[in-house]
Amino acid sequence: GDMGFLVSCILVMALICQSHSHSGSPQARIKRYQETPWSDPNDCTQPRQPLIMSNPFNFSVDIRMPGVLPTSSDSYYCVAVPVPTSREAYIVDFVPHASMDTAHHMLLYGCRAPYSTKGFWDCGTEQGTCQDEAKIMYAWARNAPPTNLPKDVGFKVGGDTQITYFVLQLHYGDVNSFRGIITDLILYLPSRQPYVAGMYLMMSLDTVIPPGKTVTNADIACTYLSYPMYPFAFRTHTHRLGKVVSGYRIRNGQWMLIGRQSPQLPQAFYPVSNAIDVRYGDTLAARCVFTGEGRTGKTRIGGTSNDEMCNFYIMYYMDNKHAVPYMDCMDHGTSGLFRGIPAEASVPIPVSPDKLVSMVHGSAHRDGEDDSELKQPKRDEEEVPDQGAHLEEKAGWPEVQLQLGQVSGLALDSSENLIIFHRGDHRWGVNSFDSNAIYQQKALGPIQQSTILVVDPVKGSVLKASGRNMFYLPHGITTDKDNNYWVTDVALHQVLKLSRDGKDTLLLTLGEAFVPGSDHGHFCQPTDVAVDPDTGNVYISDGYCNARVLKFSPEGKYLTHWGDVSNRRRRGPFRIPHSLAFAPDKRELLVADRENGRVQCFMADTGEFVKEIKKDEFGGEVFAVAYAPVHSGLIYVVNGESPYGNFAPLQGFMLNYSTKEILDTFAPETQKFKMPHDIVVAKDGSVFVGDASSDSVLKFVPSESKFVLTCMLSPLHSSTPEEKEKSSSTGASAAQGLSPAVLTTLLLLLPLLLVIAVGAFVRWKKGRMYGAFTVSHLSLFLHPLPGKAAGTLNLGNFFATHKGYTRQGFDRLSTEGSDLEKDDEDATDSENEEYSAPPPPGISSQ
């Protein structure tokens, strides 16, 4: 009897571990979704694994392409998998995990009749993706952020949508580094969601770009005549001549930016610039800016590499009772409408050569156009911080003790070396300035120690020292693209540019020494500097007694300023703009507004307010801000003690730029923060914080990810506090009620469980090492949700009905950024890749 009981327990525990080793919270799935290999779909001897059900209400579907061996670079392959339910379901999240070395881009379509339902096929030929109309639901492009749907929003599949298959299209870059691609689909069936996602396409049909003309605008505008919609992502698309594409909502004569992007950057969906709604009677407007330079003939709208396109996509959601899944706009708008468009819409966005994408949309170059401008050197992909990793203090760093005074500023050079700006034996005290901000301790002379230290980020050893006998009270520091130093000194009321060679060569001086002021030639205790890596323009936060940000040319010419009392923003003036960070991928300047306890974001080119991030967790003071252009943008801040009684622990924060969500908090373990004064983040995710009170610099690194095997079935919804309390008490009661026999049985099972765990780990490790299965993966989370069926309009078919247009290449879309140097060789995008925007059933916004 006891032996039978033991065997039964062993079988039950093994089955639980076998069935639920992939279970966990939705957040855990999003951040670290486990890969479960499939068999080769072309191998008839091994049946495809059944649908994985992590609980009775969830479906997990893997789409894989094992055995693919492309014969040439820039190949396109597709694989189809059936929607695993005939009921209505909604995709509510996309989580790509794609290799940038191999996958140029991935597109997910929904349709009823894919070209094949067995294995994979070459969809870069005339075969395409689907025999019927393919509806795009997701686009991932190399170096572009993932698309995140808002809570309770989803794309409808199954039911009456005519979407019974998912088709995944992969563009492989270099054949020499080929591997397989993975996509995981997870469906949540029981819960109902109130919102439906849709697509609004704005497209120019008749733009003509004259040869040699520097600027040609393509303008599109329509009056919105449907129920309220809420944009949350946008995407731009042109061919090679496009410089910038912008989209706006116009209400009561006010233009509100939806999104603005260079079409030469990866053409995925990006988060909208402003969280807005679009209501009946509003106007939606878009502008594409082209140049005809380098062309010898007129360029028209079309699908080949020598034609152009002007598309602005808005991904939105609506209340499901009135949802329209697809809408479009192809009008020019009323006469004179675009006279009021913001100036930014006509300003090209600079794109560095290493970020240019291959914009070829056909293999034929009828004009003999030279592609040399698209050629790029092959470069190694840099590690990026893991959005799900917790930052922990690096113990034992620095390995040698640094002789520091008050640490006021930090920066990184192009080699990722850490630059420390400190005050030596000078300290900012109550007697440092009088009531007019005049420095009172000039008699002490300048700081004799080296105030600028270049430090090895790994060991913490000093590589170079400079800045002797120059500064009185250092504050902020940054570097430009040439590694020159830009520093501020609050005692001098100046901003200085120093040579990178460590010889303290003064290259530029802004402001008058020891003379505070508020005009264009003076500062009052300036705090920080940021430099635009593309234009070289310089931004200065000024400061403790002037509440403004000033913009100068690289040569030191005043350009503009904003934020002071005479130029109030609608969010109120600054109260000590204390730190600056430049977001190069968004062309925005981030300002740590210290006493207002917030971070504000502004368009770098115009100073236009974009957004504000203010959290109760900050406690009323934000001392410094840093930015990392990964995962759609990560913002790092450190807070400070508030004199107004808003107590909050001193710590660092990592936030998602788009959602403003706090992703992580971190603080030192060896000592407490006393006055964290500045923060910088390296490309590998390491974070450095300078503390002005403890005269130290601390390093934080992402914690190592760990494989965790769980044999407990976890619910997919978050437990309420009451449920957690009930569960805790129930568990405690159960533990107290365990009999000695049960405890003995559990102890006997421990060795077996250890063996099972090791076996599962080996199997997981083997799957990770199986080259054909480990390049990328995409997780989709779906909910059932009532909504309307989507009709379709294929752009190729649409233009084929218009005289003078050909279908050839018109469905193609460049969503990719160039992977390798081979991308310049007539890189073509496959048929049906460009988004097909169906007309709304019965309702039009035109």
- Out of 239, 361, 422, 777, the active site residue is 239
CB 157 within 8 A of CB 783: no
Please tell me the distance from the alpha carbon of residue 778 to that of residue 269, in angstroms, as a whole number: 15
Q: DSSP per residue over 742-776, as a string?
A: HHHHHHHHHHHHHHHHHHHHHHHHHHHH-GGG-S-
- Catalytic site residue from 34, 65, 104, 561: 104
Rounded (10°) CA dihedral 18, 19, 20, 21: 30
Nearest to 412 by CA among 581, 541, 543, 605: 581
Token pair recorded at residue 322: 């009135």
Half-sphere exposure of 655 (CA within 13 A, CB side): 24
Q: Which residue matches tokens 């579907």?
A: 61
Catalytic position from the list 34, 169, 267, 376: 169
Instruction: Please indicate if the annotation marks 493 as binding a ligand.
Output: no
Residue type, 739: S
Run of H or E including 664: strand 662-666
Q: What is the distance of C-alpha 840 from the center of its chain? A: 30
DSSP class of 356 = P
Residue identified by tokens 């009897």 is 1
Check the annotation: does 105 bind a ligand.
yes
Q: Which residues of 39-64 are buried (b: 16+ CB within 10 A; e: fewer)?
A: ebbeeeeeeeeeebebeeebbbbbbb
Q: For residue 169, indicate whether it is catalytic.
A: yes
- What's the CA gap between 418 and 684, in Å, rounded? 13
Q: In the block, which residue shows the tokens 């323009």?
A: 537
Question: Which DSSP string corresponds to 668-723?
Answer: -SSS--S-EEEEEE-TTS-EEEEETTTTEEEEEEEPPP------S---SSPPPHHH
Active-site annotation holder among 34, 97, 105, 162: 105
d(CA 518, CA 515): 10
Rounded-to-integer distance, Cα 59 and Cα 599, Å: 41
Instruction: Determine whether 522 is an active site residue.
Output: no
Taking each continuous run of H as one helix and of E as one strand, the counts in the chain are: 5, 45
Binding residue per annotation — 423? yes
Ramachandran bin of 554, using left for φ above 0, alpha for ψ from -120 to 50, beta for the remaining angles: alpha
Say whether 237 counts as a known binding-site residue: yes
Strands 485-489 and 494-498: antiparallel
Q: Is 309 annotated as a binding residue?
A: yes
Q: How far is CA 768 from the centre of its chain?
A: 26
Asked about 239 being catalytic, the answer comes back as yes
Residue 470 falls in the annotated catalytic set: no
CB atoms within 10 A of CB 176: 9
CB count in 10 Å sphere of residue 324: 23
- Of 106, 137, 171, 202, which residue is the catalytic one? 171
Instruction: Give CA angle at 718 (787, 19), nearest 5°.
Output: 90
End-to-end CA distance of the chain: 77
From the candidates 199, 203, 309, 315, give the one annotated as an active-site residue.
Answer: 309
**802 in catalytic set:** no
Return the number of other C-beta atoms located less than 10 Å from residue 751's C-beta: 9
- The answer to whether the beta carbons of residues 493 and 524 sit under 8 Å apart is yes
Is there a binding annotation on residue 122? Answer: no
Residue with tokens 């068999």: 39
- Rounded Cα distance between 677 and 660, Å, is 22
332 assigned binding-site residue: no
CB atoms within 10 A of CB 432: 16
Is residue 376 within 8 A of residue 818, CB to CB? The reply is yes
**CA–CA distance from 724 to each of 27, 681, 738 (Å)?**
17, 37, 21
Angle of CA points 185, 187, 188, to nearest 5°? 155
* Distances 309 to 240, 286, 332, 334, 572 between C-alpha atoms, Å: 9, 13, 15, 22, 41
- The answer to the question of whether 475 is labelled as a binding residue is yes
| Residue list, annotated binding site for a protein | 423, 544, 594
| Residue list, annotated binding site for Ca(2+) | 410, 678
Active site residues: 104-105, 169, 171, 237, 239, 309
| Residue list, annotated binding site | 104-105, 171, 237, 239, 309, 410, 423, 475, 544, 578, 594, 677-678
| Residue list, annotated binding site for Cu(2+) | 104-105, 171, 237, 239, 309
| Residue list, annotated binding site for Zn(2+) | 475, 578, 677
